[in-house]
Every structure is written in C-alpha cells, then in structure tokens.
Amino acid sequence: MKYLLILLFSVLISCDGHSQGKKAGNQSKSDMREKINNELAMKFEKDSDFSYKLPNGNEIYMMENPKGKSVGIQYERLPSPSFYTIYKEFYHDGFLKKKEMFLGQYTKVGISEYYDDKGKFDTKNEDEKFGKIKPADVLKILDKKKIINLSTGEGRLDENGNSAFTITFDESKNEYIVTVENGKANTNPEFGIGEPPAFIPVYYIINGETGDFKEKK
C-alpha cells in the first residue's frame, strides 16, 4: 500500500512538471516574440531602394510600420543561393502577428507561425498540401531545365532586383504553375499596351505527383 501511494505521488509530480514545462515553453515562445524595428521601417518608408542585412544573413527588402488599420509588414530574402523568402506581419503594438515562408512569392512552405492579439501561438505545416513532388523538387527541376542555378542563385532576381519568376500551387489539380517573367523575346509588336516589352512571360506546368514538366501554351 505504501509503495502504491509513493508511485501515485510520483506520477502526479511528473504530470504536473510536464504541464508546467509545456506552459513555460509556450510562455517562452511568447516572450521571445519578435517586435518590429520602427526606426528601421522608417528608413524603408523614406527610401524605396533601401535594404538591410540581418545578423542571420537574411536581407530585408521591404518594410512598413503599422499605420491606421494596416498591419506592419516585413519581407526578407534568405541568403543566396536560396530561393526562399519570408513574410512577416506585425500588430499595432509592434509584436509579430504572423511569419510565413514562400517559394516563388505565392507558395507557402515549411511551418507558418501565427499569434493572436493576446500572444497565443499557433503553427501550420504548409508542406502537408503537397503531393510527391515537393517545392525543393520543383527547384531541382527548374535547375535541370537551366531556368535557375541552385548552386549560384542565378535566376532568382532579374536585372532590376525583382523576382524573376513566381510559383503557385493548385491543390485541386496537384500541380505547380511557374511563371518566368522575362521568359522569351517578344516577337509580337502588338503585344502589350504602349511600347511593346522586349520580353514576355513564359508559363510552365509541373505535375505535383509525377514531376512532368511542360510549357503552357
């Protein structure tokens, strides 16, 4: 009987410790929540060409403070040769609201982080929506097709520093749509409004299950 009481007491202590540890972990995550750098954001607002390299190597290329009903925003590029970007939103008190990682501007990947206005933390695994072909596989396919270079980061940005391509994922069809903005020379003088652009977009479809690659006509 004495042994059973000791065992029960030990279990209760263990459970309570686990609960406290879980609470402490959540509290720790909330305490470490990122806050927008207001002074840095003001520099971006004054100079649209301004950029800033963070200690982790990421480059902030767009940033705005919260104003009125608008949240604060921050866009980051991971160090070259990475093709991923990070998007962050901030509440009016400056604290982080969401953090999402993107490939090709429109396709969320990895683990997204979300906070409510009380600081409660939640996550979403964005990779669960993909089929056999993952975003990393899409990059390998584009590298093989000489559209990008995974080793050097070539093909990530155009000559003006803008994203050279976009990627969207259609869950209903399980396929990726890759848009190369300056995909080929414009041979149609009537294409576009005003002066015809020198280049026009090219669209590719990548099957999310087989990896089949084809140009969309």
pTM assigned to the model: 0.81
In DSSP notation, 155-213 reads TSB-TTSSBSEEEEEETTTTEEEEEEEEEEE---TTSSSSSPPSEEEEEEEEETTT--E
Give the residue extent of every domain in the chain: 34-125, 135-216
pLDDT, tens digit, 9 for 90 and up, residues 99-121: 999 999 999 999 999 999 999 99
- What is the per-residue pLDDT for 31? 62
- What is the per-residue pLDDT for 40? 98
- What is the per-residue pLDDT for 86? 98
Q: Is the pLDDT of residue 139 over 80?
A: yes
pLDDT-based confidence at 17, cuts 50/70/90? very low
Side-chain half-sphere CA neighbours of 46 within 13 A: 6
Mean pLDDT along residues 20-38: 65
Q: Is the pLDDT of residue 61 over 70?
A: yes
